[in-house]
């Protein structure tokens, strides 16, 4: 009896000890490699192999392979070993990979709290300030793009402080596309105000057209109309302040309530395709490309896909009540960060610098993407949808009018707004409920920070 | 649920296989030898199942983003099961899914087993093979195929329109009311074949004399089913229930690939929330708490079902 009791106690004690030993720990990173001295002469760094974690797929894949080949040509002493995975896969495993001693030296990261915020606060990313000074990165991008890469070193504030990533050479913006022939047939010009836009939608409906062809089935992309409407209706400064946690923190004041109201009204008016809730973004896009619908909300470059006649579509300069302000929701297609534990910070910085160079911006344009920089880049003029995108984005860059993606405001924001946008769209939730749900999460997040 | 069965089965097996006679010393040595044989498997099991389980439990007591310093929060991650509306909704959805993944296919499986075992049908094995097929298809393929079938312009809606039921056609997976039942039906389609094959196999081992005797006594098909087949299939029922109910509890792939838990949160399941919290919006502690609770649920379900089926065997 006693021996059994003893044995049981011993087993229990061993179990408790094992459990205690596996308490979670902060990722331990040896960042001794960054000694503060910066060497920008990449050719003199000797033979170096850099591991690069990137996302795979389509046009981006082709672009990145060309970019790496060009870099290795320019610096034969540096070899890039690229590992690619699906974007979601990269984002889901980034924390673990950057902490791993065999992990990447350079990686594609994401803006916002859940990726760059967590990684910089946890000490997994290299503070790029010394390199930004040495290479002059801050002068190479619009200030509103630059702020998207900044966090304070204590990890408490986004939108100011040190630089933790660079934007490379590819930009993604959100926009409203229209079918040129259909708008012509309605006898309408491209709308320049929200009122005009609504009049055009009503006219399209009356003419028996689908006013907006859209896919709302995925939560993530159900936010596309919402964010675009917010950019049309809200004050860019208030939106930016809210996302970065600077302003009064009042979500309704950012134009979100008005945007949700429009989404509800437009849905009720039948201005969206009837099957929008059952289509994913791509299915909606495909239908629009195939000629259904007058307008479509989507990411830049979506009409520049292979097999799509770009001359049939154009992008709307976003209608705004505050005329003349060129504003767009925009962020780099791939933010590049350097692992804090890399043994080759100078080589990694040289690679990152090269990916943001004029040559790479030219390569982006030649690949049908929007560049981050316009200086020294030759733009094509094919008169099609790509030209309108380039021209409008150049305007936004000159006005420095980039608004961050709204879902960066808190880690749960994308999911909440996506789900609520679906419900508002279906008439199952009110615009006020959408705002309340997102506001509650935002307040929770900032209170717990 | 193999783990639970293993844990329950091992001590029992050891007891019965121990030498009934012989010296105390010999018995003990034999026991040690048994343990040595078990050691590699046990070590592996400890390393890949028990240690992570303990680790998850410890994680669940912290608020942790997976990178920076963790903050101990006690049982807060567990009380969220009562206060977090998303979690509450997810648990409610699981109840619906249990109906579709477990009860419905078992009822259908029993019915078809009863029909098939009463009369020899031409090409019987072919039916069985076709109905079992979903069980061996990868869930990704199932999700993609059904997403197409249920799409607004998919075959289901086309069929409805073709027979004049235009008003019934809808965006099945995009409709707040229909998305969950639609997912449930996909699950029922997957598990139905499995249940049926299991029951048919069980029914074939029932001695035909029993049926003959019952028929002589004037029993109809319903009476035969309830008095002979159902009691005889108790072990198969236990297996089918355990596997399908736990499958319902941990539904992830189907939901993730078709609706991501939407529209709104109408198809959220605990496993989807777990994935989101562990990998998308880093809150490893909250994710671990969901994992631990689901593991306990699965264990309770398995033990309960086993208890009930065993009690029935020895009246």
Q: Residue B188 has which token pair? A: 């029922």
Chain A residue with minimum CA distance to B172: A278
DSSP strand pairing (A48-55 vs A106-109): parallel
pLDDT score for A35: 53
Q: Residue B19 has which token pair? A: 């030498």
Say if the Cβ atoms of A218 and B62 lie within 8 Å.
no
Q: What radius of gyration, in Å, describes the C-alpha atoms of chain A? A: 24
Q: Residue B305 has which token pair? A: 């079902």
Cis amide linkage into residue B263, ω under 30° from 0 = yes
Task: Count the neighbouring beta carbons within 10 Å of the beta carbon of residue A209.
Answer: 20
Q: What is the Cα A315 distance to its own chain's centre?
A: 19
**Of A291-295, A345-349, B303-307, minimum mean pLDDT range:** B303-307
**Of A255-264, A320-329, A337-346, minimum mean pLDDT range:** A320-329
Residue B204 pLDDT > 50: yes
> What is the pLDDT confidence band of residue B25, given thresholds at 50, 70 and 90?
low
Q: Which sign does the torsion angle of CA B260, B266, B272, B274 carry?
A: positive
Chain B residue with minimum CA distance to A434: B264
Residues of chain B with C-beta less than 8 angstroms from the C-beta of A412: 281
Instruction: Determine contact: B284 vs chain A, CB below 8 A.
Output: yes
Residue B315 pLDDT > 60: no
Say if the Cβ atoms of A279 and B174 lie within 8 Å.
yes
Instruction: Give the model confidence (pLDDT) of B116-147 as tens digits.
Output: 777 666 777 787 788 888 888 888 999 999 99
Q: What is the mean pLDDT of chain B?
A: 85
Residues 6+ apart with CB under 8 A from A16: none
Give CA–CA dist A401/A395, Å, rounded.
9
Alpha helices in A170-301 (DSSP H): 180-185, 194-206, 219-233, 236-244, 256-268, 281-289
Give CA–CA dist A442/B247, Å, rounded.
35
- Mean pLDDT along residues B83-87: 88
Residues of chain B with C-beta less than 8 angstroms from the C-beta of A278: 150-152, 170-175
Residue B67 pLDDT > 90: no
- Whole-model pTM: value is 0.86
**Which of A278, A284, A340, A413 best probes binding to B when mutated, by most B CB atoms within 10 angstroms?**
A278
Instruction: Determine contact: A31 vs chain B, CB below 8 A.
Output: no
**Which of B43, B65, B84 best probes binding to A when mutated, by most A CB atoms within 10 angstroms?**
B65
Q: Where are the beta strands (DSSP E) in chain B?
A: 62-63, 71-72
Task: Count the neighbouring beta carbons within 10 Å of the beta carbon of residue A351.
Answer: 25
> What is the pLDDT confidence band of residue A418, given thresholds at 50, 70 and 90?
very high
Residue B5 pLDDT > 60: no
> What is the pLDDT confidence band of residue B2, given thresholds at 50, 70 and 90?
very low
Q: Residue A418 has which token pair? A: 């996506």
> What is the pLDDT confidence band of residue A325, given thresholds at 50, 70 and 90?
low
pLDDT score for B57: 94
b/e map B262-283, b = 16+ CB within 10 Å: bbbbbbbbbbbbbbbbbbbbbb
Instruction: Determine contact: B260 vs chain A, CB below 8 A.
Output: yes
- Mean pLDDT along residues A339-352: 95
Backbone angles phi, psi at A273, to 5 degrees: -60, 140
């Amino acid at each position: 009896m006693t021996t059994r009791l003893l044995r049981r106690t011993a087993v229990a004690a061993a179990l408790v000890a094992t459990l205690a030993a596996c308490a979670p720990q902060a990722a331990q990173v040896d960042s001794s490699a960054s000694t503060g001295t910066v060497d920008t002469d990449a050719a003199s760094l000797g033979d170096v192999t850099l591991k690069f974690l990137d996302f795979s797929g389509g046009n981006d894949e082709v672009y990145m392979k060309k970019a790496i080949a060009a870099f290795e040509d320019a610096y034969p002493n540096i070899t890039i070993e690229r590992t690619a995975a699906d974007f979601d896969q990269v984002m889901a495993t980034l924390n673990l990979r950057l902490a791993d001693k065999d992990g990447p030296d350079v990686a594609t990261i994401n803006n916002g709290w859940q990726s760059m915020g967590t990684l910089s606060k946890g000490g997994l990313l290299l503070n790029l300030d010394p390199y930004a000074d040495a290479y002059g990165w801050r002068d190479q991008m619009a200030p509103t793009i630059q702020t998207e890469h900044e966090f304070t070193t204590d990890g408490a504030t986004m939108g100011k402080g040190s630089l933790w990533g660079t934007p490379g050479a590819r930009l993604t913006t959100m926009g409203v596309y229209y079918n040129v022939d259909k708008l012509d047939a309605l006898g309408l010009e491209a709308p320049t105000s929200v009122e005009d836009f609504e009049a055009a939608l009503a006219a399209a409906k009356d003419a028996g057209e689908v006013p907006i062809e859209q896919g709302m089935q995925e939560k993530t992309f159900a936010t596309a109309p919402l964010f675009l409407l917010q950019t049309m209706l809200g004050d860019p400064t208030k939106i930016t302040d809210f996302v970065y946690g600077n302003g009064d923190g009042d979500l309704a004041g950012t134009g979100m309530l008005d945007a949700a109201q429009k989404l509800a009204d437009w849905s009720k008016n039948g201005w969206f395709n009837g099957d929008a809730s059952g289509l994913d973004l791509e299915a909606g896009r495909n239908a629009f490309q195939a000629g259904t619908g007058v307008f479509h909300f989507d990411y830049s470059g979506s009409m520049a896909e292979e097999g799509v006649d770009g001359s049939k579509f154009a992008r709307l300069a976003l209608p705004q009540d505050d005329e003349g302000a060129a504003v767009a929701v925009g962020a780099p297609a791939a933010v590049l960060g350097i692992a804090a534990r890399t043994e080759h910070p100078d080589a990694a910085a040289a690679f990152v610098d090269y990916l943001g160079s004029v040559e790479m911006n030219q390569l982006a344009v030649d690949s049908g993407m929007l560049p981050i920089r316009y200086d020294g880049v030759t733009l094509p003029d094919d008169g099609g949808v790509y030209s309108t995108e380039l021209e409008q984005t150049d305007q936004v860059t000159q006005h420095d009018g980039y608004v961050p993606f709204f879902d960066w405001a808190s880690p749960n924001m994308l999911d909440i707004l996506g789900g609520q946008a679906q419900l508002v769209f279906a008439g199952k939730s009110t615009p006020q409920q959408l705002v309340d749900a997102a506001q509650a999460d935002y307040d929770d997040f900032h209170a717990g920070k | 649920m193999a783990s639970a069965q293993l844990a329950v089965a091992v001590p029992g097996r050891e007891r019965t296989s121990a030498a009934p006679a012989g010296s105390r010393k010999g018995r003990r040595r034999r026991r040690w030898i048994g343990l040595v044989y078990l050691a590699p498997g046990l070590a592996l099991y400890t390393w890949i199942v028990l240690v992570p389980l303990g680790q998850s439990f410890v994680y669940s007591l912290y608020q942790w983003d997976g990178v920076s310093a963790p903050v101990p929060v006690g049982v807060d991650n567990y009380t969220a099961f009562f206060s977090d509306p998303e979690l509450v909704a997810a648990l409610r959805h699981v109840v619906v899914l249990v109906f579709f993944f477990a009860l419905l296919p078992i009822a259908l499986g029993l019915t078809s087993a009863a029909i098939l075992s009463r009369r020899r049908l031409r090409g019987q094995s072919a039916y069985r093979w076709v109905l079992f097929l979903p069980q061996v298809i990868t869930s990704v393929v199932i999700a993609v195929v059904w997403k197409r079938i249920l799409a607004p312009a998919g075959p289901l809606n086309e069929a409805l329109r073709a027979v004049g039921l235009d008003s019934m056609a809808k965006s099945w997976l995009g409709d707040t009311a229909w998305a969950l039942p639609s997912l449930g039906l996909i699950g029922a389609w997957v598990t139905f074949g499995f249940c049926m094959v299991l029951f048919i196999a069980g029914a074939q081992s029932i001695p035909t004399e029993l049926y003959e005797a019952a028929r002589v006594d004037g029993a109809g098909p319903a009476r035969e089913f309830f008095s002979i087949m159902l009691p005889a299939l108790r072990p198969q029922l236990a297996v089918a229930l355990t596997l399908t109910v736990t499958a319902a509890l941990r539904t992830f792939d189907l939901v993730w690939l078709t609706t991501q838990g939407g529209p709104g949160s109408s198809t959220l399941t605990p496993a989807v929330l777990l994935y989101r919290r562990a990998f998308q919006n880093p809150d490893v502690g909250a994710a671990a708490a969901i994992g631990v609770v689901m593991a306990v649920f699965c264990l309770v379900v398995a033990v309960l079902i086993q208890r009930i089926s065993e009690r029935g065997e020895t009246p």
